Amino acid sequence: MTLRFDKLGVVIAAIAAYAALLAPFATFRANRIVPGQARSILEALPSATGPLLLAIVIAGALIALLKTPLLLRLAAGVVALAALAILIGTAGSFLTPAGNTFARVSPASGFWLLIFAFTLLLADVLTRLDLSPWARVAVLIAAALAIGLLLVSRQWDSLSILKEYANRADSFWAEGAKHITLALGSLAAAVVVGLPLGILCHRVERLRAGVLNVLNIIQTIPSIALFGLLIAPLGWVATHVPGAGVLGIRGIGTAPAFVALFLYSLLPVVANTVVGLAGVPRGANDAARGMGMTDRQRLFDVEFPLAFPVILTGIRIVLVQNIGLATIAALIGGGGFGVFVFQGVGQTAMDLVLLGAVPTVALAFAAAIILDAIIEMTSIRRHEASPA
């Protein structure tokens, strides 16, 4: 019998082997800011649990390495990720001395590489299974419920990131609300302005190049520089325009962050609106004219529905982009998860950095999956509605 190797599985197995056998699984610190001491899987877990995790990882890597049935690969990815998620909490409890409130235990590079390897395996399997949009959203919900269950069970309470959260629980949710408000609010403003502007650029070709060039120039300005450039004009508005301060317009804070994110959001919305409308088949427009539709009716009843998947792709780009860029808003007092990231950098406390970075990545990842599913569903409906 000839063994057949999976090309992606070779990469996954190599990453898993390095992470499990050579890289540290957890890091122990006497307190939150001192250098850590690396611990391997066998050192970080109780005597019976360490070999069990190694066996699970090795078995999962072998299944990934060989051309195996998709359901077996799916099971290997799920079991390995579940074991890693549960046992990193066990490592925290095992390494923390009894009654010690200063010690910190955090996942090390080996843990993150193993998570990456088996997430890659799971993503590859789900791609090959060609799941429907609803099924992909269901997988996302199941993963969120599993993480929520681990949090509620207090399995991770001994990990340093949860200890950082316990010290900042109220501010965490307050900053999280600011982060989401910035990302969604700037997206909503960009859609309100960008859709009509995109329609205008599509209709009036002379405007198209100029508008898109200006938006391209804005897109090339580094985010920190754009935030800084907005401080002076918004500060002037706050000082000289009656009522501006009451509305929250200031040189620093939420206002410049909101305006910057709005400006960054315009290009994808406008450009995708132009591309989507330009891609509407000429036959659809000719048929609409033949039915006696006005320009307005053709726009809203024919062109816009057919262009909607492309426009929605631009909105997806903006939302994922804004969730990440909103982190920088903390530098000018805009709040958001970036507050914890920059506090952690200033205090050399990497777990505090993770407290801001992990939810930001999770939000962007969830937003991408949900909007991808919506885009695919709208595309399917468009093809079903199109004449053969």
pLDDT in tens, 84-95: 999 999 999 999
The residues facing 200 across adjacent strands are none
218: tokens are 């804005």
Mean pLDDT of 114-134: 91
Above 70 in pLDDT, residue 5?
yes
Specify whether domain 169-385 bears CATH 1.10.510.10: no
Sign of the C-alpha dihedral computed for residues 318, 137, 388 and 128 taken in this order? positive
Residues in the chain: 388
Helix (H, G, I), strand (E, B) or coil at 167: helix
Share of the chain above pLDDT 70, in %: 95
Helix (H, G, I), strand (E, B) or coil at 159: strand
Looking at the DSSP bridge assignments, the partners of residue 159 are 105
- Residues in Cβ contact with 112 at an 8 Å cutoff, skipping those fewer than 6 apart: none
Q: With CA atoms as reference, report the closest residue to 97 among 166, 31, 164.
A: 31
The percent of residues in the chain predicted with pLDDT above 90, rounded, is 48
26, β-bridge pairs: 39, 107
Residue 273 pLDDT > 50, yes or no? yes
Mean pLDDT of the 178-183 span: 92
Whole-number pLDDT of residue 118: 96
pLDDT at 241: 72
Quote the pLDDT of residue 1: 55
Q: Provide the mean pLDDT of the chain.
A: 87
Determine the pLDDT at residue 388: 42
Return the pLDDT at 121.
95
* Range 13-27 burial, b when 16+ CB lie within 10 A, else e: bebbbebbeebbbbb
387 band by pLDDT with thresholds 50, 70 and 90: very low
Q: Which residues lie across from 109 on neighbouring strands?
A: none
Answer with the residue of higher pLDDT: 73 or 35. 73
48, pLDDT greater than 50: yes
Residues whose CB is less than 8 angstroms from the CB of residue 388 and which lie 6 or more positions away in sequence, other chains included: none
Which of the two residues, 57 and 31, has the higher pLDDT score? 57
pLDDT tens sequence across 192-227: 999 999 999 988 888 888 888 999 998 888 877 887
Nearest to 329 by CA among 206, 154, 179: 179
At 234-263, the pLDDT tens digits run 777 767 677 666 666 766 777 888 888 999
**pLDDT for residue 167 is more than 90:** no
331 and 224 in contact (C-beta within 8 Å)? Answer: yes
What are 295-352's pLDDT values in tens digits?
A: 778 877 888 888 888 899 999 999 999 999 889 888 888 888 999 999 888 887 888 8
Yes or no: say if 44 and 36 are a contact pair by the CB < 8 Å rule: no
- Is 97 in contact with 34 (CB distance < 8 Å)? no
- Rounded Cα–Cα distance for residues 119 and 113 (Å): 10
Q: Mind giving me the DSSP string for 348-365?
A: T-HHHHHHHHHHHHHHHH
Flag the least confident range among 140-144, 171-175, 185-189, 380-384: 380-384
Separation CA 224–CA 321 (nearest Å): 15
Residue 280 has pLDDT above 90, yes or no: no
Predicted local distance difference test score (pLDDT) of residue 222: 83
The b-or-e profile of 159-176 (16+ CB within 10 A means b, else e) is: bbbbbbbeebeeebeebb
The domain limits of the chain are 7-160, 169-385
C-beta separation of 372 from 366 below 8 A: no
